[in-house]
Amino acid sequence: MVSVLDRGAAIRDLDDEPAAPAGRVVLASAPKIRAVYWCRFWRDALRPEFYKNRPVVIVSRDNRLDGPALVVPLTTKPQGSNKWAYKLTENPNPRKPAIDSWAVCNHVYAVSCARLVQMDGGVPRMKPSDFDEVVRLMLRALPDAPPVAP
Question: What residues does each domain of the chain span?
Answer: 31-140
CA 115/CA 27 separation, integer angstroms: 10
Question: Could you tell me the fold of the domain covering 31-140?
Answer: SH3 type barrels. (2.30.30)
Mean pLDDT of 131-145: 94
Read off the pLDDT of residues 41-78 as tens digits, 9 standing for 90 and up: 877 776 777 878 999 999 999 999 999 999 999 999 99
Q: Are strands 53-58 and 36-40 parallel, antiparallel or unpaired?
A: antiparallel
CA 75/CA 144 separation, integer angstroms: 27
Q: How far is CA 80 from CA 51, 52, 104, 117, in A?
A: 20, 22, 12, 29
pLDDT at 2: 47
At 13, is the pLDDT very low, low, confident or very high (cuts 50, 70, 90)? Answer: low
